[in-house]
Chain A
Amino acid sequence: MMLLAAFAAGCFIGGFFGILIMALCMMAKIGDVEE
Chain B
Amino acid sequence: MTRRQDVAKALAKYAARKAAKAAVKLGVKAVAAAVAAFGWPLALVLLVAVLIVTVFGGLYAAMPGSGLLTGATPSELDKEYRDYAAETVQRWNVEETWLVPGEGSYYPNTGGARLGRFVDRFGRDAALANTWADAYAPVLLKSSRDEQNDKMQDKDWVKDEIDDAAKKQRPWFYYKESKVIYSGPDGSDEETVYLLVEAYTLRGHRQYEYEWVTESSGNGSVTYEKLKRETILNDGTEYLRQFTAEFYRDMDNDSDIELAVSMTRQAQQAFNERKEWLDWLLAEGKTYYRSLSTAAIPPEYFGFLQEAEEKTGIPVWFLAGIITTESSWNPLAVNERTGCFGLTQLHPDYWPQWTQRYGFDPDKDMLNPRAQILVGAYVLRDYIGGSVDWENWKGDSRVKAGLARYGGYGEDVQAAEKYISRVVRAAAAFALRDVIWPVPRYTAITSRYGMRLHPVFGVWRIHTGIDIPAPEGTDVVSVSGGVVVQAGENGAWGNEVRVQDISHIYQYAHLSQIDVQVGQMVTPGQKIGEVGSTGASTGPHLHFGVKVIGSGEDVGWIDPELILRRW
Residues of A within 8 A of B (CB): 2-3, 5-7, 9-11, 13-15, 17-19, 21-22, 25-26, 31-35
Complex: how many Å from CA A13 to CA B56? 12
Q: How far in angstroms is the closest Cβ of chain B from A21?
A: 7
Q: Do B44 and A13 touch (CB < 8 A)?
A: no
Given contacts A18-B56, A21-B57, contact A35 B49 (CB under 8 A): no
Chain B residues near A11 (CB, 8 Å)? Answer: 48-49, 52
The answer to whether B55 touches A2 (Cβ under 8 A) is: no
Q: Other than A13-B45, A17-B49, A32-B491, give 16 A-B pairs with Cβ distance below 8 A.
A: A2-B41, A7-B44, A9-B49, A10-B46, A10-B49, A18-B53, A18-B55, A22-B59, A22-B60, A25-B60, A32-B65, A34-B491, A34-B492, A35-B457, A35-B491, A35-B492
Nearest Cβ on chain A to B164's Cβ, whole angstroms:
40
Report chain B residues within 8 Å CB of A17. 49, 53
Within 8 A of A (CB), among B48-93: 48-53, 55-57, 59-61, 65
Q: Tally B residues with Cβ within 8 Å of A.
A: 28
B496 to chain A, nearest CB (A): 9
B28 beta carbon closer than 8 Å to chain A? no
B47 in the interface (beta carbon within 8 A): yes
B493 at the A interface (CB under 8 A): yes
Distance A6 CA – B493 CA, assembled complex (angstroms): 45
The answer to whether B42 touches A6 (Cβ under 8 A) is: yes
Q: Tell me, rounded to whole Å, the shortest Cβ–Cβ distance linking B277 to chain A.
A: 19
Contact between B48 and A7, CB atoms less than 8 A apart:
yes
Q: Which residue among A3, A11, A18 has the maximum number of chain B CB atoms within 10 Å of its CB?
A: A18
Q: List the A side residues contacting B270 at CB < 8 Å.
A: none
B221 within 8 A of A: no
Bound-state Cα–Cα, A14 to B45, Å:
9
Compute how far the CA of A33 lies from the CA of B13 in the bound complex, rounded to whole angstroms: 14
Closest to A9 in B: B45
Contact A6 B44 (CB under 8 A): yes
Tell me if B564 is interfacial: C-beta within 8 Å of chain A. Answer: no
Q: Does the CB pair A35–B52 fall under 8 Å?
A: no
Of the A-B pairs whose beta carbons lie under 8 Å apart in the complex, a sample of 8, sorted by A's number, is A2-B41, A7-B44, A14-B48, A14-B49, A14-B52, A33-B491, A33-B492, A35-B457
Q: Contact: B554 with A10, CB < 8 Å?
A: no
B57 touches A10 (CB 8 A): no
Assess A31 versus B61: contact at CB under 8 Å? Given A2-B41, A14-B53, A22-B56. yes
Looking at the assembled complex, report how far the CB atom of B113 sits from the nearest CB atom of chain A, in whole angstroms.
51
List which B423-480 residues lie within 8 A (CB) of chain A: 457
A22 to B536, CA, bound (A): 25
Contact of B44 among A3, A19, A33 (CB under 8 A): A3
Which residue in B50, B56, B535, B536 is a CB contact (below 8 Å) of A19? B56
A19 CB, nearest partner CB in chain B, Å: 6
Q: B491 to chain A: which residues have CB within 8 Å?
A: 32-35
Known contacts being A31-B61, A33-B491, A33-B492, is A18 close to B41, with CB within 8 Å? no
Q: Please list the 4 inter-chain residue pairs (A to B) with the smallest Cβ-Cβ separation, ordered nearest first.
A: A10-B48, A14-B52, A18-B56, A14-B49
In Å, the complex CA distance between A19 and B60 comes to: 10
A6 to B42: give the CA distance in the assembly, Å. Answer: 7
Are B48 and A21 in contact, CB atoms less than 8 angstroms apart? no
Within the complex, what minimum Cβ distance (angstroms) separates A22 from chain B?
Answer: 5
Give CA–CA (A28, B522) in the complex, Å: 33
Tell me if B490 counts as interface (CB < 8 A to partner A): yes
